[in-house]
Structure 1
Amino acid sequence: MKPSGKHHPETVKWTDFVVPRLPIPKLEDTIRRYLAAQRPLLDDDQFRNTEKIAEDFKIGVGKQLHKELVAQDKNNKHTSYISALSFDMYLSAREPVVPNYNPFQSFNPDPKLEYNNQLIRATNMVCSAVRFMKTLRAGVLEPDVLHLNPAKSDTDQFKKFIRWVPSSLSWYGAYLVNAYPLDMSQYFRLFNSTRLPKQGRDELFTDEKGRHLLVMRKGNLYTFDIVNRDGNMVKPAEIHSHLKYILSDEN
C-alpha cells in the first residue's frame, strides 16, 4: 500500500506541471464583456444608462482600482491575482456553506451488485480514499488535464514527451496539443482539513498528521484510525469492522 515514490518513466505526475498565473484582463475588455452580458437584460434606456456608468467607472475610480490590482499582482508573483480575493469571499461569507458554495458528489450503483451493500461500499470507498491520499502525498498522482484533442494528448506518446519537458515549460508543451493541466494546488485540503470559525473571516486548517476517519450517523460522531503509525492503511477488514459497529449502534 505504501507508494515507493518511484514511477514508470512514461507516467506524468501532477507535480510535473507548473500552471501559469492568470493574467489580469484589460479594464476595457472587462467592461466590454460586462456590457455584452447586460444587453439582453435591459431595455434601450436602461442600457444607455449602464453604458454611461461603465464609461465613468473606466475613466474614474475603475482606472485607479485597476492600477492597484496590477501593482498587487506584481508583488505576489507566487499566486494568481484572483486567489486571495476568492479565499476572502469564501471564508468571509456568512451564508450556509452547503449548498451555496461547496459542491457535492453522487455515485452511480456499482456494476457488481454485491458491492452496493452499504457496509461493503463504505469500506471500499474508505480504502480507495486512503490510497488516493497516499498517492497524492507521495507526489505520484496523475495530473488533472482537460483534453480538447485526446487523440493527440491523452496518449502514451504525449506522456513520453511531456515527462522530459521542464516543469516550468510543461504547461506550454501541453497547450501545443490542446491539453490544459488544471490547478491542483488545493488538493492537499481534501484530507485532514476543516474550516475554523472566526470573527469576520474563517480560517482553513490542515493537520496532515491526523490518522483517523470521522463518521457521522444519526447525529452521533465516531472516529477510528485508518492509517497506522507507519503511514500505511490499516487492513480493510479492520475498517469494515469499525463501520459495522457504527451501523449496528442503536444510540
Structure 2
Amino acid sequence: MDLNADLGEGFGRWPLGDDEALLGIVTSANVACGFHAGDPSTMHRICGAAVDRSVAIGAQVGYRDLAGFGRRRIDYEVDELRDDILYQIGALEAFCRVAGGRVAYVKPHGALYNTAAVDEGQASAVVAAVVAYDSTLPVLCQPGSVLAGIAASAGLKAVGEGFADRGYRADGTLMPRSLPGAVLHDPDKVVTRAVRMAVDQVVEAPDGALVPTPVASICVHGDTPGAVDLASRVRNGLAAADLVVAPFT
C-alpha cells in the first residue's frame, strides 16, 4: 500500500506543513506546482529531497488560485484547463529532471479533485493534459469517479486513492470541508480508517453505510494539524497489518 501526502504547499516566505519530516514517512509526494500553492524554489527543494529519499513524485495540479488554496471551484473552458494542467506538469518535470528523477503520476488538488470526480468536462481536461504529456503516467484519483472512468477509457492507469483523515458521504464522495466531521483529527480513528480502507477496501460513512474503496494509495493531508504524527501512525498501522508500504508506481 502506498502512503502519500500533499507537499510543497507553502509559498515564498510562508511555509505550510513539515515537508522534510513527511518525506521521511510517505512513499509518494504530491508536489504543488505553483498554481494553488508552491513556488519554483520550493518545487526545486522538494524534488531534490524526494529523490534523495526514493519517494515517488507526483504533480499535484490545481486551479490558478493561490488566494483560495485551490479549494474554490472555478469554471473553465476545457482547453484552458487542459493547458493549465499541462503547464504545471511540465514545470514540476523540470525540477524533477534537475534532481535526477521524474514526474511519476498526476493528482488533481482540492476543488479540481472534487469537481473532476463528478464533472465530465473538467475530468476530460485532466485526462487530455496527461495523455498529451505522457500517456504512461497514472492518475491518482477517487475510485469509481468520473475522472477514473474517463482516464481508463483513454488508456490511462487510474489509481484509486483513499483519505485517512477525511469524512466520506454514502455515495463515496468526500464530505465538504464546511461540514462537521469532514476532517478527522483523532489519531486512533485516522489509523483505524486507513487500515480498514487498505485491508477491507471499505470506509464507513456517517450514516453507517460501508462505502467500497478499492484503493492502492492512502493520503494524509500535509496541512492537517499534527500531520507528521498522523502519517507516522498510519504507516505503522499499515505495517502492523502486514502490508508492504511502498510507492504504487
The TM-score, its normalising length taken from structure 1, stands at 0.21
Higher strand share: 2
Higher helix share: 1
Larger radius of gyration: 1
